A = this chain, B = another copy of it.
Amino acid sequence: MNEKILQDNNKVIKRIFNLDTNAYVAGALDTKTKELLGLVASTVLRCDDCVKYHLETCHKEGLSKEEVVEALGIATLVGGTIVIPHLRRAYEYWDELEKL
C-alpha cells in the first residue's frame, strides 16, 4: 500500500514518509532510544498499527522485553487506563515476535 501512496506523487505525503524514515536514524540519541520514543508516542496516541510497527523495529534492534515493557508502563501511566486495550495487544504482538 505504501508504494501506491508514494507513486501517487503527492509532495506533502511523500516528504512525511521520507521524514519518518530519517527521524529514527542514530544521532545524538541512538536508534534503540529513538524506537522506544516512537513506541511511547504511538501508545499514548493509541494507534495500534503504529505500536506494532515500533514493536517490530524494537525487536529488530535487540531491545529486551523488560525494556519494552517499562516503556509501555510509562505510556500507560501518562495516557491512562484508556491505553490498557492497546497494552494488551502490544503484549500479544511482542509474544508473536519472540516466537518467530
A interface, CB within 8 angstroms of B: 1-2, 4-5, 8, 10-13, 15-17, 19-20, 22-24, 27-29, 33-34, 36-38, 40-42, 44-47, 49-50, 64, 66-67, 69-85, 87-88, 91-92
A contacts with B: majority SS = helix
Chain B neighbourhood of A8, CB < 8 A: 69, 91
Chain B neighbourhood of A71, CB < 8 A: 29, 37
A33, B94: Cα distance in complex, Å: 21
Is A12's CB under 8 angstroms from B82's CB? no
A88, B80: Cα distance in complex, Å: 17
- 20 A–B pairs (Cβ distance < 8 Å), ordered by A: A1-B91, A4-B91, A12-B19, A13-B87, A17-B84, A19-B81, A20-B84, A23-B77, A27-B70, A29-B36, A33-B36, A38-B78, A41-B44, A45-B45, A45-B78, A45-B82, A47-B82, A50-B81, A78-B80, A80-B83
